[in-house]
Amino acid sequence: MGTARCACKDMTIHMNIARQPSKAVPALPDAQTVTDVQHYTDSLFRFRTTRPRSLRFRAGEFVMIGLMGDPDPATGKQKPLLRAYSIASPTWDDELEFYSIKVQNGPLTSKLQHIKPGNSIILRPKPVGTLVHDALLPGKRLWFFASGTGIAPFASLLREPQTYDDYEQIILTHTCRRVAELKYGADLVESIRGDDLLQELLGEGFSEKLTYYPTTTRESSPKMGRITSLLRNGSLFEDLGIDGIDAATDRAMVCGSMSLNTEMKEILEGFGLREGANAAPAEYVVEKAFVG
Ligand SMILES: Cc1cc2nc3c(=O)[nH]c(=O)nc-3n(C[C@H](O)[C@H](O)[C@H](O)COP(=O)(O)OP(=O)(O)OC[C@H]3O[C@@H](n4cnc5c(N)ncnc54)[C@H](O)[C@@H]3O)c2cc1C
């Protein structure tokens, strides 16, 4: 059961009643069973797996997951092919959710994109990461800046009661090239707004704390532009009716490409925010959505 670190005991009880128990875990070490797969585009999909009973994690952390690699031509031996993946599900969920890219010649995702319910994946149950509440000092407004699959850790944090307990406002910005690439985030926000259990726990109107700001960079959509440009030219603040980012009350988490992260660090530090870590909480934290 996914009962660890729930902000409220009531939540634990409700979730345990509402969720079906996970299916039996296969005997292979670190193997988990795929329970659901949803494809969004030719380059994005989401999948859910059983959760190891012993896995405790903090919302926003990542684990290593993968499949067995091809047999070595000389020895015939197979080695696990593992990659870092943010856990997209909240800590109270009985299952785990992942949101994945499909890189057509990528060693892992060229295969992973073909998984089906009932298949096994390897999951090393050692969660780590910096996109966690513990790495931020208390504040009033929390920004999640995501591009592409960088929304995955925020999908966990956005379904965590603590996020709404700790902040007065939460703003999710998600930037992708095409409109179809925003669907996972749009569905996520819609499901949170209609989530009876979160509403029962946090009170009616909790979801009014959540502001969703999707943008595209290539395909036409109601809001176009890189988030860094919209921050620099003030358009983001104008759209949201916000004066700006104030280091005394605003906190931020960033997850995107190396170039987005670098530029976001510069922008946030320009507003006086300092980078935090688990051991030294501050005003913002950053993590790479992928290497390369
Ligand atoms: C801390 C961390 C967390 C991560 N979490 C996720 C996650 O939740 N979901 C996810 O899909 N990936 C995530 N990744 C990336 C993931 O580890 C793999 O790179 C990805 O699954 C592709 O694996 P591959 O073996 O097919 O190709 P790789 O050889 O790993 O990558 C090939 C190339 O594809 C591009 N690429 C890889 N991943 C992405 C991506 N996510 N978005 C855009 N381009 C990419 C890069 O240019 C990379 O050089 C994360 C990486 C890190 C470091």
Query: What confidence score (pLDDT) does residue 170 get?
Result: 98
Residue closest via CA to ligand 1's atom 45 equals 290
Q: Which domain holds residue 140?
A: 133-288
Predicted TM-score (pTM) of the model is 0.92
Lowest model confidence (mean pLDDT) among 72-76, 97-101, 213-217: 72-76
Q: Are strands 31-41 and 120-128 parallel, antiparallel or unpaired?
A: antiparallel
**Residue 7 pLDDT class (50, 70, 90 cuts):** very low
Number of domains in the chain: 2
Residue 248 near ligand 1, beta carbon < 6 Å: no
126 burial class (0-12, 13-18, 19+ CB within 10 angstroms)?
exposed
Looking at the structure, tell me whether residues 36 and 112 fall in a common domain: yes
Q: What is the pLDDT of residues 191-201, one digit of tens each?
A: 999 999 999 99
Query: What confidence score (pLDDT) does residue 29 get?
Result: 74
Residue 184 near ligand 1, beta carbon < 6 Å: no
Q: What is the pLDDT of residues 98-115, one digit of tens each?
A: 999 999 999 999 999 999
Q: Are strands 62-68 and 80-86 parallel, antiparallel or unpaired?
A: antiparallel
Cβ-based neighbour number of residue 271 at 10 Å: 15
Query: What confidence score (pLDDT) does residue 6 get?
Result: 39
Mean pLDDT of 45-57: 96
Residue 56 near ligand 1, beta carbon < 6 Å: no
Kindly report the CATH number assigned to the domain that includes residue 171: 3.40.50.80
Does the structure show a pLDDT above 90 at 152? yes
Looking at the structure, tell me whether residues 152 and 54 fall in a common domain: no
| CA 47 to ligand 1 centroid distance, Å | 15
Query: Domain for residue 80, yes or no?
Result: yes
Listed residues 128, 147, 180: the one ending a domain: 128
Query: Domain for residue 142, yes or no?
Result: yes
Mean pLDDT of 83-101: 98
